[in-house]
Chains A and B, each alone.
Chain A
């Protein structure tokens, strides 16, 4: 009998503890995580014959301000070029976006300490960038601006086409630059407000 009562109590206690743990974890998680669903990414290269420029504002990103984890996912088909034919060749011949639909970055932010007050922080982003199915380590400087619970992040860096096995046909060797300048800008809001 006593044993039974104890079991009932125990069950309730267990449920209560689980409830608290669940709520607190969900709360902590969404409070630390900031999300951006319209990250802007552009690339540019200048070449003797023709500049190549494209941009998208349909990339997605998330930052965990507690751990410093950063994640970017870029749907490659959303890159818009000024010339439709160039956009088509980008997809079919260069990035092969039917096989490799996303560019993905997984990394960590460093250069700020918690709690983060309003202000602009120079940060460093370290991680793996996968483009065209080829992953390479990057460490690039960026800025993190915190204001009224919103975060704006930005960075610019260069990538080499050869690093990601993006081949230029021999006939176009002098028309396409080997290095692209990438710009990233993303405005984040807390996940629990999304």
Chain B
């Protein structure tokens, strides 16, 4: 055969054979980016809606009911701690019991009760005497961080309202000397800005506005604070978590309290977290007496350096209601 005539024959054969090769590469029929879009939300920035005392950016999943209890003991060391109180175990400075419910994957509502952490050491200046607190909260996941960093940050909005049901304090200089129902309330609004930096490390900052309708003389009704929080997961089930709030109290208010022997400190909390499926347990140490941020941010008067820290625990259990209705579940 003339060589030039064999060329089209070879090409024809090659063209006919090519589908045989193409058929072996069925994987090329599907596009990865359609099946698994690169802007998938980052999951599990924090393991639960709480860090230690701060809110994390996490909301509950739809139809999840979270039962959350929290407890703080008295000072471990210093003037009020030590062996005589069994390192603070004799007293509970605050106790919290609450429920949160996921209306959707983005919106969580909650109600609960704090014992409240009134300050018993400075009764000459009764600036913090409120207890028996009821609260309601709303948390909305506004933005989710994405795996391709097209959205590098997660943003969650948080708001709560607290009201005290305690009897009116007769002392007119007390912050519990309520004149009307409105005086019993305080409100907090937060924007929680978080980022999961790796599978092990997450951080967040929490610009906070706190409104207390009725405060003692020298105190401030409106206060801004900046919170920070972080989580370091060091193995499959355990993490170190920490948070702190810097309250921006006016200098005149600060000076007033200092002249009465009262110094406010930055509440700093650190915890050891154990997460097992729906259980989240956390043993923590903090210089804040209060569990409620509405009291913790303005009223932390205990000092880590002088043994003014306590141990406490947070315990939460998540239940899923209406299990079958989350998706179009096929039998």
User: Which chain A residues have a beta carbon within 8 Å of chain B's beta carbons?
Assistant: 10, 13-14, 17-18, 20-22, 24-26, 28-29, 32-33, 35, 40, 42, 50, 55, 57-58, 60, 62-64, 66-67, 69-71, 73, 75, 77, 80-89, 91-93, 96, 98, 101-102, 104, 106, 167, 169, 171-172, 175, 191
Contacts and interface: CB of A to CB of B under 8 A. Distances in A.
A172 B275 CA distance: 11
Main SS class of interface, A: mixed
Interface of B: 4, 7-8, 11-12, 15-16, 18-20, 22-24, 26-27, 29-30, 32, 35-36, 40, 42-44, 60-64, 102, 105, 147, 199, 235-237, 276-278, 318, 320, 323-324, 326-327, 329-330
A88 B15 CA distance: 48
B29 A62 contact: yes
B16 A24 contact: yes
B277 A85 contact: yes
Contact of B64 (A71, A75, A84, A106): A84
Contact of A92 (B16, B199, B235): B199
A156 to B, nearest CB: 14
A175 to B, nearest CB: 7
A90 to B, nearest CB: 10
The 7 closest A-B pairs by CB, nearest first: A84-B61, A21-B15, A71-B26, A29-B19, A62-B26, A92-B44, A82-B323
B35 A102 contact: yes
Nearest to A92: B44
Contacts of A83: 61, 64, 278, 320, 323, 326
Contacts of B64: 83-85
A60 B36 CA distance: 12
Contacts of A171: 237, 276
B35 A58 contact: yes
Nearest to A30: B19
A86 B36 CA distance: 20
Given A21-B15, A77-B36, A67 B23 contact: yes
A81 B8 CA distance: 57
B11 A102 contact: no
Contact of B30 (A22, A60, A92): A60
A28 B276 CA distance: 54
Contacts of B11: 14, 17-18, 21
Contacts of A82: 320, 323-324, 326-327, 329
A164 B102 CA distance: 34
Contacts of B330: 40, 42, 55, 57
B105 A84 contact: yes
B8 A13 contact: yes
B320 A84 contact: yes
Contact of A17 (B12, B43, B235): B12
A88 B44 contact: yes
B23 A32 contact: yes
Contacts of A77: 36, 40
A167 B40 CA distance: 24
Given A17-B12, A80-B326, A102 B32 contact: yes
21 contacts: A14-B7, A14-B8, A18-B12, A18-B15, A25-B15, A58-B35, A62-B26, A66-B23, A67-B24, A71-B26, A81-B326, A82-B326, A83-B323, A84-B102, A85-B61, A86-B277, A89-B277, A92-B44, A98-B147, A101-B36, A102-B36
